[in-house]
Amino acid sequence: MRQSIWDADELGAGEKTASMQSLGGLVSGIRLWRLPGDWRCSAVLVVFTFGWIIQLAGVAQGQPTSRESKRHLPAGFYSRMIELENGIQYKYAVFVPAQYDLSKSKKWPMIVFLHGSGEVGGDGIKQTTVGLPVYISQRPTRFPFIVLMPQAQAMWFRGQEAEAVWRMLAKTMADYRVDQDRVYITGLSMGGFGAWELAMIQPDAFAAIVPLCGVAQKEFLSNVMNIPVWAFHGALDKNVPVSGSRMAVAELKRLGGIPPKYTEYPDLGHECWDRAYAESGLWRWLLAQKRTTPRVIDYQLPQGVAKVWWLAIKAEPNLTTLAHAHAEIDERKNVKVETEGIANWGLMSEGDLLAPGDELQVTWNGAVIYRGKFPSTGALTFNVSSPTTNPATPPPPGHATTGPASASISTTRPAG
């Protein structure tokens, strides 16, 4: 039996296919607040709105469409279905490596693949006819990832379509032995937009992002600066301008997080995915990426609540600008948090970085508001009011400050 499933000649090109789409206007995505440790869905819904004002060429006409759907799934692909709380059912596909049953203990890396607009539908098959699924179908015994392939029933992976993806992800992780620290997201065209967006909403869900011919909104790129990114785009793309990928990569470099990788094909237009997924170094690079917990979090959201790594935040109601939180924790467990438009925020246990019993000093917007042990509940939350001046003296251990920089403290963990 072969010990390695990797050979240089096994990373060849996939079958040529097509897809398209671009967007403008105001769009929104709804996701479930997911606890990274056990991936259970809580009862808290988060609304994450992206205000796009992008005029993209080639929207109205001349759009390529995918080939007609196959009547059956390729070898190694399995049909699955979930039902949302409103009763709507979504079909999706899962690829399982041929070697999966050889070990009952091995945990496998997983890829979430988001299709393009040409594959929107409800048969649960059409999304497997373009891009990564085609590449896999040509080497079903030699692809070492579980692959989740959602199918959107309407344009864009937002709103109900995004909720369906999160539920499919949770279900797949429950059904199979998935390495939770090696879950990746990729997508092409409409799915390239979706890969950026879902990762910006919940960055701690993924170990890496591989967006193809998509666009990311600049204001939210700091949300993913701690995640490895390898973006692809064709320089001659007339459907989704290559400037979108160039901007995203440049902004991630400026933010100073993990340096992104970027491949631009000077001779290709929109349909760059066959060559991208056949890049000989892509899959080795992806396998090397593991989810890590950053010491610095910079996160923006327009409304609602979110939990990212060790920070939980709730935006003030009726905001006209983005809510923003910047948090840092050093090796001595000094935590510094700066917020704008945030009503409540909290610290959550996260491995060795922040554990019950740790001695903490918490500074919020320049004022020391807590000194003491991190609670055994694994949560330390603050209901805060915007400070106007710093307190004259820091608080005693285990207490919050009083006066203009005030915070009521709770050790109760949020529901979920």
| Whole-number pLDDT of residue 22 | 29
Query: In this predicted model, what pLDDT tens digit does every residue of 350-387 receive, in sequence order?
Result: 888 999 999 999 999 999 999 999 999 999 999 875 44
CATH number, position 127: 3.40.50.1820
Residue 7 lies in a domain: no
User: Are 143 and 180 within one domain?
Assistant: yes
**3-state DSSP assignment of residue 264:** strand
Which structural domain, as residue segments, surrounds residue 363? 296-410
**At which of 287, 310, 337 does a domain end?**
287
Q: Per residue in 299-356, pLDDT tens? A: 999 999 999 999 999 999 999 999 999 999 999 999 999 999 999 999 999 888 999 9
Report yes or no on 416 lying in a domain: no
Shared domain check, 151 and 48: yes
Report residue 222's pLDDT band, with 50, 70 and 90 as the boundaries.
very high
Residue 59 lies in a domain: yes
DSSP single-letter state for residue 145: S
Q: How far apart are CA 354 and CA 333, in angstroms?
A: 8
Per-residue pLDDT band at 102 (split at 50, 70, 90): very high
- Report the range of poorest mean pLDDT among 54-58, 70-74, 145-149, 250-254: 54-58
> How confident is the model over 140-179, as pLDDT tens digits?
999 999 999 999 999 999 999 999 999 999 999 999 999 9
Non-local (6+) Cβ contacts of 123 within 8 A are 69, 91, 151
Q: Could you report the per-residue pLDDT of 257-281, keeping only the tens digit for each?
A: 999 999 999 999 999 999 999 998 9
Report whether pLDDT(225) > 80. Answer: yes
- What is the number of domains present in the chain? 2
Residue 189 has pLDDT above 80, yes or no: yes
- Give the count of alpha carbons within 13 A of 306, CB side only: 30
Residues 162, 264: one domain? yes
